[in-house]
Structure 1
Amino acid sequence: MAVESAVMATPRSRTRQLLATSAGNLVEWYDWLAYAYLTTYFADQVFPQSGDRLVPLLSAFAVFAVGFVMRPVGGLVIGAISDRFGRRTAMTLTITLMGVGQLSMAVLPTYAQVGLLSPLLLILIRLIQGFSVGGEFAVSSVFLVESAPPGRRGLFSSFSYFSSNLGQLLAAGVAALLSNTLSQSDMASWGWRLPFALGAVACLIGLWVRYGTDETYVHAEAIREGRTRRPGLFDFLRHHPRESLLIVGITVGATVSFYTWSIYLPTYAEITVGADPGQALIASTIALAFFTVIQPLGGLLSDRVGRKPLLIAFGVGFTLLTVPMLNLLQNSFWSLLLIMCVAMVLLTGYTSVCSAVMVELFPAHVRTTGIGFPYAATVAMFGGTAPYLATALADSGRGAWFGWYATALILVSTVVYIRMRETRDTPLS
């Protein structure tokens, strides 16, 4: 029985499903990225002072990286909860955990108040947030695509990155507003806590919105009543090893491209061509807004022509253009903006359809774990390390090597896109 006909009854209920999932996803990614934007303000408050001002900052960024370690764990555990107890249960858990993390950040005691307990608490908070975000992509992607009407799975899929991009823009906007409104001393002492408090309130709202959604997983009740077997934790790997490996292949080049072009490029331009940090950040924000707006267009196009053409266009485009575009970077606002917008168009070939493609690969009872663990592990291994690798190579005088590294990974994904089957017309079990 197809999910499209079994679960969703009316256009109004489908719209609520879409809005509820997108709102929750937005809040999740706002919370995840607010840490990165506010690190410079709270690092001195949490980590012991030293003679080098960079030491607390580096320590705070190291804790940011720790969150990536928990993402595969979150993808596996929360995916299992989704496949056993339902998508709503798993989405309620992710947003609750993120709300706890945000509230904890808002009231985190400083090193001056509690000593070593302060950075230890920060690490614990970041582990919780990484665990939550690791499960969020898979369960929200599955819920979105299962909620879609026939012929609109690509469109619904595109709202995964649409909402996460909005969360990133909101986090950057709130941080920029406060940093330009409050004094430097106020931001360092208490102002950095306000965005986290706002995030905690937003999580409550997102929790309420998600609570009113309809369950899309028709097997959840049968599993609870013992009428069907509960899926094992690694059933996705045992029975669907090819599909699990496909998730890795689909993701490996794309995650490096995403973190390079949508998050790290302003810093890369500053390091390699001496771009003005303020101008680079403005260009990045405009490009990210453009990237957000075109997501639904990519999803709609995939519903007409299929997923493979968009994935192949993304893969071939970045395989041929990654190194040339990085080499064309100049200390110019318009040059940077143009290159970033071209990259955003190419990247949309992946981001607007990846949720639909991944969901269409697996049967319902292992769908979330089948996506969650391999996806999160690949992102942690290749996406999360991309900014650090690029910085290290640039610092050693081998900055050009990063472009070739990214190209090699994208080429691997491109081969996967060409060889994989088209999934657009695959019925969801």
Structure 2
Amino acid sequence: MKKIRILFASLIGSVIEWYDFYLYGTATGLVFSSLFFPSADPAISIILAFATFGAGYAARPIGSLLFGHMGDRIGRKASLMLTLIGMGGSSFLMGLLPTYQQIGIMAPVLLVVLRLVQGFALGGEWGGAVLLATESAPKGIRGLFGSIPQLGVPIGLVLGTFSFSIISALTTDAQFLAWGWRIPFLFSIVLILIAVWIRSGIEETPEFQHKKENGQLAKMPVVNLFKYNSKDVLRIIGLKLGDGLFNVFIMSFIITYATTYLSYSKDIALMGVSIGCITMLVSIPLVGYFSDFIGRKIIYVGSLIGMFVLAIPYFLIIPESEILFYIMQAVVLGILWGAIFSTQGTFFSELFPANVRYTGLSFSYQIAAAVAGFGPMLWTVVADRFGPNPFVFGGLMMAGLFISLLLSFFAPDTRKVTLYEEIEENKEIEETKLNQKEGVLTNN
């Protein structure tokens, strides 16, 4: 039961993270562009709205340093409780914001402020959730445990999709723009209360506790990180960059792309994302389980190759029919990206020692995410100039994927060489010595 609660605690925060991510990404194209950034040119409205989407990503690295420092100095649990409040609280308040028509320029200003707070908190959530699971995992199934918080992506996105779909179905277009879009944001408060209750009942991770008891915590984790692990920080940024750009497109910008440039209905676009997410519910834990036997690196390289090969075909095929659109979402988002994301948390975290692991994992991941977060603004400009050109969009994706693919070939196989294993072995040695000492005292 203890391990199950820990897994739920790591998962629930990730669910909220991606629920909020999807709500904001979807609302940006459908609602925020017209209600908060009105313009005579719709393309300008969309560009401005997606700029705020990217601003949230830009705040993530700053949040990752603060919450990473807290997580490496005070504990994983304390940091994760604060990220919950920041994430869900900002989303809830977005649902209460007045529009540009009601209060003028203050409407987009307040939206940007809340988006920055949300991004700031998100910067510390993902890394902490992953460590909560992996640092509590029994030996031999760390990949499986590390994949569980990643399930927050499909669950959060399905919840976000369902909430938008059901509200859209029950309201007219005018009602949806007037008040319907607010309901999914306000629902965040329910998820926060559940998450706080679950996380309040867990203990600190064994890895962190071991370091704390032995006086091995870093006084300034970020200094230690760049002094001894700067190479791994740069490695993770590159490994994440390519799939991050493609991921933001197929999970968020695809709604705007499909409705604005491919003439699909909003319901079809939402269904495509839902199908990809449902596929991930199966692929993520399966891949996580097998990564403990065949290694994270093999899966990572193979999946990047698959995404690279399908980058241009994806954009050629999705305009052809609804069915082909759904199939490509299932393959590219559900299977290939699902496999990458399943292994990412465990793979990246195994590169760092426990005393800087929260900071290192969070900061490097969020730097790459910050770059990818401005992808929708770039794609809006590209689409406005070239239209939905498969070779332009596919070429952009291939360029990012090539960087990640190249670096993945030189990354270590962390299933064989990992700092987790060294710590666990030290624990076993210390426990053996302690038992032997107690046995000698007893005999005497």
TM-score, normalised to structure 2, is 0.85
Residue 392 of structure 2 corresponds to residue 401 of structure 1? yes
Provide the residue aligned with 1:371 in structure 2: 361
User: Residue 186 of structure 2 aligns to a residue in which SS?
Assistant: helix
Shift of 1:170: 0.5
Residue 24 of structure 2 corresponds to residue 30 of structure 1? no
In structure 1, which of residues 380, 403, 417 is the aligned counterpart of residue 408 of structure 2?
417
Shift of 1:415: 2.3
- Where do residues 281-296 of structure 1 align in structure 2 (5 Å cutoff)? 281-296=270-285
Does the CA-based 8 Å contact 2:311-2:397 persist in structure 1? yes
- Where do residues 157-168 of structure 1 align in structure 2 (5 Å cutoff)? 157-168=146-157
- Where do residues 184-195 of structure 1 align in structure 2 (5 Å cutoff)? 184-195=173-184
Shift of 1:374: 1.6
Structure 1 pair 117–267 and aligned structure 2 pair: CA distance change class (3 A): closer
Shift of 1:242: 1.6
Whole-angstrom distance in 2 between the partners of 1:329 and 1:112: 37
Shift of 1:227: 7.5
In structure 1, which of residues 338, 354, 373 is the aligned counterpart of residue 344 of structure 2?
354
Letter in 2 for 1:345: I
In structure 2, which of residues 154, 158, 162 is the aligned counterpart of residue 169 of structure 1?
158
RMSD over aligned Cα atoms: 2.6
User: Residue 154 of structure 2 aligns to a residue in which SS?
Assistant: helix
Post-superposition Cα deviations, 1:124-167, rounded to whole Å, max 9, x if no partner, equal 11110011112211111121211211111111121232112211
Does the CA-based 8 Å contact 1:87-1:216 persist in structure 2? yes
Provide the residue aligned with 1:153 in structure 2: 142
In structure 1, which of residues 246, 261, 275 is the aligned counterpart of residue 235 of structure 2?
246
Structure 1 pair 212–313 and aligned structure 2 pair: CA distance change class (3 A): same
Moved more, 113-122 or 70-79: 113-122
Structure 1 pair 301–38 and aligned structure 2 pair: CA distance change class (3 A): same
Whole-angstrom distance in 2 between the partners of 1:259 and 1:175: 19
Identity rate, percent: 31
Moved more, 391-400 or 223-232: 223-232
Shift of 1:243: 1.2
Whole-angstrom distance in 2 between the partners of 1:127 and 1:414: 31
Whole-angstrom distance in 2 between the partners of 1:415 and 1:172: 34
Shift of 1:198: 1.1
Shift of 1:245: 1.5
Moved more, 213-222 or 405-414: 213-222
Shift of 1:53: 6.0
Does the CA-based 8 Å contact 2:33-2:46 persist in structure 1? yes
Provide the residue aligned with 1:210 in structure 2: 199
Provide the aligned length of Structure 1 versus Structure 2: 416
Whole-angstrom distance in 1 between the partners of 2:35 and 2:259: 27
Shift of 1:209: 1.0
Structure 1 pair 163–46 and aligned structure 2 pair: CA distance change class (3 A): same
Shift of 1:223: 5.6
Residue 185 of structure 2 corresponds to residue 196 of structure 1? yes
Structure 1 pair 178–321 and aligned structure 2 pair: CA distance change class (3 A): closer
Post-superposition Cα deviations, 1:196-234, rounded to whole Å, max 9, x if no partner, equal 221022212211211111111654697699775523433
- Where do residues 9-24 of structure 1 align in structure 2 (5 Å cutoff)? 12-24=1-13
Structure 1 pair 14–124 and aligned structure 2 pair: CA distance change class (3 A): same
Does the CA-based 8 Å contact 1:389-1:402 persist in structure 2? no
User: Residue 293 of structure 1 aligns to a residue in which SS?
Assistant: helix
Shift of 1:365: 0.7
Shift of 1:326: 2.6
User: Residue 148 of structure 2 aligns to a residue in which SS?
Assistant: helix
- Where do residues 1-400 of structure 1 align in structure 2 (5 Å cutoff)? 12-39=1-28, 40-41=30-31, 44-47=34-37, 51=40, 58-111=47-100, 113-216=102-205, 218-219=207-208, 229-269=218-258, 274-343=263-332, 344-381=334-371, 383-397=372-386, 399=389, 400=391
Structure 1 pair 334–367 and aligned structure 2 pair: CA distance change class (3 A): same
Whole-angstrom distance in 1 between the partners of 2:214 and 2:97: 43
Does the CA-based 8 Å contact 1:90-1:139 persist in structure 2? yes
TM-score, normalised to structure 1, is 0.88
User: Residue 365 of structure 1 aligns to a residue in which SS?
Assistant: coil
User: Residue 355 of structure 2 aligns to a residue in which SS?
Assistant: helix
Structure 1 pair 213–174 and aligned structure 2 pair: CA distance change class (3 A): same
Structure 1 pair 84–36 and aligned structure 2 pair: CA distance change class (3 A): same
Post-superposition Cα deviations, 1:229-271, rounded to whole Å, max 9, x if no partner, equal 5234332122111211221122122212322333334544556
Structure with the greater alpha carbon radius of gyration: 2
Letter in 2 for 1:17: I
Q: Where does structure 1 lack aligned partners over 5 or more consecutive residues?
A: 1-11
Shift of 1:52: 5.1
Does the CA-based 8 Å contact 1:38-1:175 persist in structure 2? no
Does the CA-based 8 Å contact 2:136-2:206 persist in structure 1? no
Does the CA-based 8 Å contact 1:161-1:292 persist in structure 2? no
Structure 1 pair 83–196 and aligned structure 2 pair: CA distance change class (3 A): same
Whole-angstrom distance in 2 between the partners of 1:257 and 1:93: 30
Does the CA-based 8 Å contact 2:65-2:362 persist in structure 1? yes
